[in-house]
A and B are shown apart, each in its own frame.
Chain A
Amino acid sequence: MKRRALCLAALMSSTLMVPVFAADVPEGTKLAQDQTFTYRVLDEFSSFDPQVVEDTYGSEIVRDLFEGLYNQDANGNNVPGVALSHEVSDDNMTYTFKLRKDAKWSDGKPVTAGDFVYAWQRAVDPELASPYAWYMELMSIANGAEIIAGEKPITDLGVSATDDHTLVVNLSQPLPYFDKMVSHATTFPSPKWAIDAHGAEWTRPGNLVSNGAYVLTEHVPKERSVREINTNYWNADDTVLEKVVTLVIGDDAQGLTRFRAGEVDKTDIPAGQYPALKDEFPQEAYALPRLCNYYFTFNLDSGPEAFKDVRVRQALAYAIDRNVIVDQVLQGGQFPAYTFTPAATANFEVPSVDYAGMTQAERDEKAKALLEEAGYGEGGKELSFSYLYNTNEAHQQVAIVATQMWKQKLGINVTLENQEWKVFLENRGAQNFEMARGAWCGDYNEASTFLDLLTTPSGYNDGKFTNARLDELMVEAKSSQDTQPLYTEVEQILADEMPVIPIYHYSTNMMLNASIQGWPVDNVEQTWYSKDLFKVAAE
């Protein structure tokens, strides 16, 4: 049961009756007078339009301004948002969501199933042309792909409202994790009347009508945005933070300076500074697991001939001492990786692949033997290639350390090459590399968001790895109720074939003012909602 320390007794009696998922303030907490939370973002938001937004910072704001079918709790599990519950048909192809009746837009209109239908049709509408239409495609909503391709009208989308509070979704194929995907910004409802009235300018403060816990009250692009509590929100009485301010600060070090000056409550930690800051601010420096991986990818398509030999790939993977990279180079609480999927992923048990269990000395031994067997290394052919990464200090450090390990242990010469982000993407996507850096952050909290990347049809399989069995398993996983054995086999194939070298799994490094409480530290997607936070008074 939730307990709240706000003194209004009448309010308490009403909140105790139904389970609520708002700021969970422990009894006896002294809240600060000024419930304003100010945090730093790196750059300007791509949009406040839920169907258009594509960046992390923008999504954070959109999650506060709008509310979708489900929200996530502190552990990343679904909790009711506009939807109270859902039912799934026996063939797993139809989802029926029951919506709450007390949900309102900030202008007082009720939130209806029709608002979701409108929004979802909008997301795939070729006329709006949102880059995030791909997300709707990923959700396998019936006719989504055809509508995007312009072959069917948007009204054919597999989503309908049987009444104001019932939303029915038809899928084109069963998707066991479909309900996990509806806490994403692209699926939030949008207010047709406001969009019709203001057109492209509907997301400006004053024009923006939203159904989330906050409304947008100020926006100075590239400088600040302010959102304030939405009194029409169904759970406004349990929302504690009154005002949330973002400041755009493009420079990491400057973000930290302004954190020190007390101008922001939250900022990212500049690369490499976590240990020092943890000493200085033990209560405020955080390193949290994050749903992202970091790996090196072999170009198996047009890369060096040697990469086609699995023994060479394994040797290179074994010879990297991941503990050195994580503990001595990055020092930000990252996790050494031997599998492609991070351990933090929901419903995923990390399989015990062979080389993860060895000591580094054993791995080095094995690496030398494998390389020799393949005819390279000492006494054999010389192996040299280039490694491509996008320009960034941390990537450079990882590259230097890893290639140095290869040189010392295996006598391999690697040339380092770095390129600006878009140039890098273009070249990596066109297989203009020998070995390249890769990284991925999960779109949703399920292993397929990672493992799908290495299937043959994947648009992100830049190394052009192909394995028929793996493709088969991933197709099977789409409709399976018990995915763990399938994913275990996929990871096993990856460890045997080694098309990519997993290096580490990311962590989020941030400074968070000790007065801000309720942060979902265990949510690996870092999906946070201002309505769950509160600010305690200084002692």
Chain B
Amino acid sequence: MTATDTPPAGAASASPPRLAHHRESRWYPYALIAPTMITLTVVALIPFLYMGYISLHEARYGQLRDFIWFQNFATLLADPRFWNSMWVALVFVCIAVPIEFMLGLIGALLLSQKIRFRNVLIPLLFIPSMMAPIIVGLVWKTMLAGSWGFVSYNILENFGILKETSIFASPDLALYGIIFVDIWEWTPFMMLTFFAGMQALPVNPYWAAAVDGANPVQIFFKLTLPMLAPLLFVIGLLRLIDAFKVYDTIFILTNGGPGTATESPSVLGYKYTFDFWNIGQSSALAVVIWLIFFIFCNIFYQVAKKRLNVF
């Protein structure tokens, strides 16, 4: 008897069955990824390409008419409301994200200390990001509503910051109100993410630094921050993109008003489509936003790759 004529039973226990057999078929890997690729194509790629197609057409009231090259883009760039929306997005991102980032980092450091009731606190911190943005908007709209809102009545009015009207009715303050709500909504999320990141850092370098006589400030800036950098970078980038696209909070709080004071690109796109029924125009806007992200992300990625040794 040799091993060949009657191969004994019981073999190759831990190998996924039928793996190598199908590997010999060249199409097997493609068959495996096909469902995902088809789904992605149908729900993402085709609509995206179709959007590009529409943006080159005169398309109003649900009808695709003449091919007009880049005329929609020209109109868009000439529209002061477009530039206004870019400015709104810029102000929003540049104020909200850094504040959320800093508060998140400080919060995470506090959470890392041995504080009491941490186990109660952490689930509570999930609440803002778990709530639907529409609800968040409604809650704050009520709390900051003119002379009867809980917060505006008790705080803002008493200190004379605001009289009679809602903060969201003031062209000067509405955007800051929205920024405030966004910070309220997202800071706890940043805090928890950074906290989780800190918990995953190796403990021995901290001991080494303690033995070396480093003080808490040195430990934070020379150890925690550099070791956390890749995570900070990724979370920061995601939040940046997300903030740029802000829509639902604004929609419920001000719908872009007063006037165009809080009209972000997403809100403007909505209005192009459903208020003016100009789908060609809104498609062009979407393409421009996509281009901005594309360029921005690439630059960010290159910088990160060089400076942080991530990816």
Bound pair: A and B? no
Residues of A at under 8 Å CB distance from B?
A: none
Residues of B at under 8 Å CB distance from A?
A: none
